[in-house]
Amino acid sequence: MKNSWTVIKKPIVTEKSYALAEKNIYTFIVDKDANKNEIKNAVEEAFSVKVAAVNTAVFKGKTKMMKNMVLEGKRKDWKKAYITLKEGHRLNIM
């Protein structure tokens, strides 16, 4: 079993995530290889809350031009998790 903090990289703090937090949905950047069960267990263990649902989205890294348009690089692929908590549970991360 993976450590909670190797599955959860960091919370996403944006205006959209603040709006979702009012609906008891929190967003995190998570390990690309983690599945929904691992993400659920990691959040429940790390924050002592009950998770109702986990939705995930995988984002492909963009290709970017660097060094005066001579070299081409690529950003990393990453995974976002939308965590819905059960009624009565709150996270105080924002």
**Domains defined for the chain, CATH in brackets:** 4-85 (3.30.70.330)
pLDDT surpassing 80 at residue 53: yes
Range 15-24 average pLDDT: 94
Say if CB 77 and CB 60 are below 8 A apart: yes
Place of tokens 């263990």: 45
Q: pLDDT confidence of 94, banded at 50, 70, 90?
A: low
pLDDT surpassing 90 at residue 54: yes
Residue closest to 50 by CA, chosen among 91, 4, 1: 91
> Residues of the chain with pLDDT > 90: what percent?
77
51-59, strands of its sheet edge to edge: 8-11, 25-30, 78-85, 51-59
